[in-house]
Structure formats: C-alpha cells, structure tokens
Amino acid sequence: MKEMPKVGIRPVIDARLGGIRESLEKSTMDMALRVAQLVSSNVKYFNGENVECIVADNTIGRVPEAQKCEEKFLKEGVGLSITVTPCWCYGTETIDMNPTRPKAIWGFNGTERPGAVYLAAALAGHAQKGLPAFSIYGREVQERDDETIPDDVKESILQFVRSGIAVATLKGKSYLSIGSVSMGIAGSIVNEVFFQKYLGMRNEYVDMSEINRRLQKGIYDKQEFKKALVWTKENCKEGENRNPEKLVKSRKKMDEEWETVVKMTIIARDLMIGNPKLKDMGYGEEALGHNALAAGFQGQRQWNDYMPNGDFLEAILNSSFDWNGIRSPYIMATENDSLNGVSMLFGYLLTNQAQMFSDVRTFWSASSVERVTGYQLQGKSSDGIIHLINSGSSTLDGTGQQTQNGKPVMKPYWEIKEEEVKKCLNATDWPPAMYEYFGGGGYSSHFVTKGEMPVTLCRINLVDGLGPVIQIVEGWTVELPEDVHKILDNRTDPTWPTTWFVPRLDKEKVAFKDVYSVMANWGANHAAFSYGHYGNDIITLCSMLRIPVNMHNIPNEKVFRPKDWASFGMDIESSDFRACKNYGPLYK
C-alpha cells in the first residue's frame, strides 16, 4: 500500500511589494497554519493516524511561487488542497491547477483587503478553466485581527477534507475480483471504465480456483491458522441447524468445514494485501497480494455448490477484529457485487467504521405487520419498516454491541474496547448454511442489529447512457419485540443477520414521501450502511468524482458541492447531473 495522501495548504497573498505584501506575510501564513492544525486535529486516516498537512514553504503571490508549491506537493504526496487568504491576490496566477486534485478556497470574510474578493475572482477562474473548486466563505464578517476559524467555516473545511481524503485514498488502489459474476447480479459485472475513470483504481482478477489451489497446497500461514481455529472455536458459537434431517451432515464433516472457512478467510486476506510469511515459505509472488483496498467473492454458485460458502470469510474480514485482535476492517463484497463494494468503500473511508452489506429485502407496512403478527408498529416504525438482511456476511460490528454514552454505535477500530468485541461475538451465532442453497455447506453469521442507531445507506448503480449514479438514505435501526421479529424473520432465511430499518421521510421529495416509496425507488437488491448520518459527506465525495446523486434525503443546507455547480441552474439536483456530465469523470 502507498503512503497516505496528505492535505496541501496553500497560503496566497497580494504580490505587490513595497508595503502591502510585507504587511500580510505573517497573517497569511498564520491562517494556513491554523487550518493545518484544525485538519490534523479532527480528521484521521482509516489506519487511525491523524491526517498530515503540508503547508507551502512560502506565501504564494505569483506563478513561480505557485509552481514551487506544486512541486513540493507532488513530492510530498498531496492528494487535495486548501487555498487560504485574508486578502486580495492575483486570481488565476495563484490557483491550484492540478486537474485531478480536489481543491477548495477559503477567502477570509473581512472588509479590509477582503480575501472573499479573491475567493470570487479565483473561483471564476476555476470555472472558466474547467477546474471545479469548493468555495468556503464564512457567513459573518470578521475583524482583520480575528484569528478564529468560524464554526461554519470549520464545518466546510472538515467536510471537504473528509471527502477529499477518500478520493485521494482510492487513487492507485485495486478492487480485487475473486471469481466473476454471481447468479447474473449486475453489480458483479465488474466495469473497468467506472473504476479507472471515476475512481482512479485498478482492477485485479483471481479465479476462485486460486483459493482451492492454496487450500490444497497449504499456501497460508500454518501457525496463524492454528491460532485462528482456536479463537474461532472459543468465540464463534455454532447456531441452530435448520436443515432437514435427510441433509444433515456428520459432525466430522462439519468440523472440516469450520477448518476450511477459517483457511479461506486467511487466504482471501492474503490475496488482498499480501503476506510476507508466504515468501519465507517459497511463494514470493503470492506474498505480494493485489494492493486491494476492497474485494469481492463470487461464491454462488460455482463455489458454493461444492465448497463451504464465503459467509464466514466475508463477515470476519468486514469486522474490526479477528484472532489477531482489533484491527481495521477489510472491505469484502458478497457475491462480488463490486458496486456495493465501492459503496461500502465510500462509507468506510468517510467514517473509518466497518460497513454492513445487506440485501434490501422487504418493505413491511404497518398493516402487513399487524396482519401477520398482531402487533402494531410504534414510534419511528409506525409508517413501516425495511428488512435489511444478507446471506451471513455482514460485519459483526453491525450487531450494535459497541456503545457510546450508553447507546449502540459502530466505532473506528481504534476506539473499540476488548469487552465490546466480546459482546459482538456473544451476540452472534453461526448456524450451518441451508444446504439446499449452499450445497457445499459453511456457516452464516446470525444476529439482530440493536435499535436506535442513526445509520446511512448508500448504493451506486450504473445506468446505460448515463453512467454511475448514487442513492443515499439516512435513517435509523429499530427493534421489534422478539416474538414479532421471529415471525417476520422466519418468513425468509432465519440463519442470516437482520437489521430493521426506517428512513427519515421528507414529504417534499417523491422518493421519501413514505417508507414504501424509499423501497420502491431503490435501484438494486443490495445496499451498504454504517453508523451515523454522513450522507452530506457522500454527496461531497461524489461531486469530486463526478457521480451524480439521483436520490437522497439530506437537507439542502448540508449539500456541499463545488461552486461551479451553481452555474448549471438553481435546482441543486438537476444542476448536479448537468455539472457531472459537463466535466466528466475525474480521471477521464
């Protein structure tokens, strides 16, 4: 993996010497340093380290100084930039001209030599040159000697940085396709144009026979396997076997399947990121891995019909812990649904939290629930619920057993405590797979997500003639009485993990007038979600990549896109489509 991308801070200044520039040098550089401190103190990479900022060596007043800054940024691995100024400067002479680097400008809102005037001039230059940039402009006028960063400016800077870091992190990484298309699911038809031109990512491919080869030839760390198997037996309790008697397997065969799924997990991780221990075993090429930030496992059906399914490997890799302790999750998509894998990846890079992979399975109206169970939905659930469920691969973080201030949450791995890991494991059991679906056996994770967690769902879809679009829904998990849950859950596959979800409704938006409309407008059978309401960050991220948003319930005041988008009309959704089409993918 390459080094983490850095945030470049560009202090620009009025270039007129003879008193003007000299009087502004300190205040301009101090402004840059304050922004760097704000960013490094509030944003972390997915590995838990504070985001690093690179400040230009000098203030930037003319083109030679802008180029000197650019050379430093390229050398230091800067992935996004923030230009700051308290004063008027020479517009197009001082802007960031890098065509694929997300960029923003904060122009100080003051009345003496106002940076806001430069902001307007520079943004006009960006628009004219086809280099979209974000405008950061404080609502209130500040005094010339005011060194505070207003709260609204802080919010815009941090939202820009969170999204820009995600964009920069994607660049140069790989999506690893383990297998090919699963059961005709469109998302598992890996579209290289999308990955390369919109995300700047490589595509890597491994046939599922490679997993079998490594199983048969023992190409995995034997010591780690022993450790992993002991941990699995101690922490992953086997659930109820719901298979009919005629299909039940011997205890010996089921134990062999446990060993196989543990080995598969180690092998899939090694395929993604490599493992230096394989080199010591004489497998130097295998030790390299595929530089994969995300991957997908086809499974169904060519694998699952005769081998244990991928549910365990997907669930454990997607979790923030395993036999090696608490660690960052690995993004692994079920059924090689690469589009849902990317949706998970967006959420992961924006929140640093594990991501749930779920089927958007069933809308249950209040009347349907009452008819089937006799129970009347209440509170947030009163307008109906959506059943999110998947074939056992969802992250164990999704149990909701991690807590903050006594409430269920999902945390970045560095905030998770050992006792919370135990609670997640204790809340999960692993029923044998239903053999009529999964002839090769295996074990599926099974739990029910705790209620009252704010969560954000998203999903990328590809539309012929249009390209990628994304859907975003903020809402909450909810809990049902246990007997009601069981009645509803038993109508599908009760060996899989369940989340009951309700979206935040908005009568002004057609797709959010009721819960049914959200379900009816969802674009595919899968979705990704995690803890918190961060749909605004996804919108910002997608504007950087030129992916329009075709469905969301985010308040308009939280939508933050490049200033150029305002040139494409006053309706913020239709202008998003026009702007994305006009500029094209980031890496075209």
Q: What is the identity of the amino acid at 107?
A: G
Active site residues: 335, 359
- CA 65 to CA 53: how far, in whole Å? 19
pLDDT over threshold 90, residue 112:
no
* pLDDT surpasses 70 at 516: yes
Question: What percent of the chain is modeled with pLDDT above 70?
Answer: 99
Per-residue pLDDT tens digits for 409-432: 999 999 999 999 999 999 999 999
Q: Where are the beta strands (DSSP E) in 263-411?
A: 292-297, 321-322, 325-326, 331-334, 356-364, 385-389, 402-404, 407-409
Domains and CATH numbers, the chain: 6-170 (3.40.50.1070), 174-583 (3.20.14.10)
Average pLDDT over residues 46-70: 97
Distance CA 405, CA 452 (A): 13
- CB count in 10 Å sphere of residue 516: 14
Rounded Cα distance between 112 and 108, Å, is 10
Assign residue 57 a region: left if phi > 0, alpha if psi is -120 to 50, beta otherwise? alpha
267-271 average pLDDT score: 98
Cα distance between residue 297 and residue 175, in whole Å: 11
- Residue 543, judged by CB atoms within 10 A of its CB (0-12, 13-18, 19+), counts as buried
Inform me whether the pLDDT recorded for 406 exceeds 90: yes
CA 174, CA 205: separation in Å to the nearest integer? 10
Task: Return the SS3 of 347.
Answer: helix
Contact by Cβ (8 Å): 158, 42: yes
Question: Is the predicted pLDDT of residue 129 greater than 80, yes or no?
Answer: yes
What is the arithmetic mean of pLDDT over 323-328?
98
Any bridge partners for residue 350, and if so which? none
The per-residue pLDDT of the chain, averaged, comes to 96
- Retrieve residue 424's tokens: 């997640």
CA distance 574 to 569: 8
* pLDDT at residue 427, as a whole number: 98
Q: Does residue 2 carry a pLDDT above 60?
A: no
Determine whether 254 is exposed, middle or buried from the number of CB atoms within 10 Å of its CB (0-12, 13-18, 19+).
Answer: middle
Most distant CA pair in the chain, distance? 93
Residue 268 CA to residue 500 CA, distance in Å, equals 30
The per-residue pLDDT for 557 is 95
- For the chain, how many helices (H) and strands (E)? 19, 20
- For residue range 228-263, list pLDDT tens digits in order: 999 999 999 999 999 999 999 999 999 999 999 999
Dist. CA 132–CA 105, nearest whole Å: 11
**Cα torsion for 391, 396, 397, 401, to the nearest 10°?**
120
* 402-404/385-389 β-pairing: unpaired
Examine the pLDDT at 300 and tell me if it is beyond 50.
Answer: yes
Note the pLDDT of residue 144.
Answer: 82
- Do residues 488 and 364 touch, judged by C-beta distance below 8 A? yes
What is residue 403's predicted lDDT score, i.e. its pLDDT? 97
pLDDT of residue 145: 84
Give the pLDDT confidence score for residue 196 in this predicted structure.
98
Relative to beta strand 292-297, strand 202-206 is unpaired
According to DSSP, residue 305 is labeled T
All residues at 6 or more sequence positions from 122 whose CB lies less than 8 Å from its CB, including other chains: 83, 89, 91, 92, 94, 95, 105, 107, 133
Residue 207, annotated as binding a ligand:
no
Instruction: Give the integer Cα–Cα distance in Å for 397 and 453.
Output: 12
Q: Which of 83-87, 142-146, 433-437, 566-570 has the lowest mean pLDDT?
A: 142-146
The confidence score (pLDDT) of residue 108 equals 86
335 marked as part of a ligand binding site: yes
pLDDT: which is higher, 336 or 115: 336
For residue 102, the model assigns a pLDDT of 98
**pLDDT per position as a tens digit, 71-88:** 999 999 999 999 999 999
State the angle between helix axes of 20-42 and 151-170 in degrees (0 to 180), rounded to the nearest 10: 70
Residue 272: closest CA among 311, 314, 229: 314
User: For residue 1, what pLDDT band results from cuts at 50, 70 and 90?
Assistant: very low
What CA–CA distance (Å, rounded) separates 201 from 170?
6
- The model's pTM: 0.96
Full DSSP string of 238-293: B----S-GGGPPPHHHHHHHHHHHHHHHHHHHHHHH--HHHHHTT-HHHHH---EE
Residue 560's nearest CA partner among 124, 82, 134 is 134
Is the pLDDT confidence value at 322 over 80?
A: yes
Alpha helices in 437-499 (DSSP H): 482-489
Beta strands in 108-256 (DSSP E): 134-136, 174-178, 202-206
Angle value at C-alpha 173, between 342 and 550, nearest 5 degrees: 25
Burial grade of 410 (CB within 10 A; 0-12, 13-18, 19 or more): buried
- At residue 113, the pLDDT reads 67
* Beta strand 134-136 pairing with 202-206: unpaired
Instruction: Tell me: pLDDT of 336 over 90.
Output: yes
Looking at the DSSP bridge assignments, the partners of residue 238 are: 430
Average pLDDT over every residue of 106-135: 91
Report residue 56: phi and psi, to 5°. Answer: -55, 145
Summarize pLDDT for 461-514 with one digit per residue, the tens.
999 999 999 999 999 999 999 999 999 999 988 899 999 999 999 999 999 999
- The span from the CA of 326 to the CA of 417, in Å, is 8
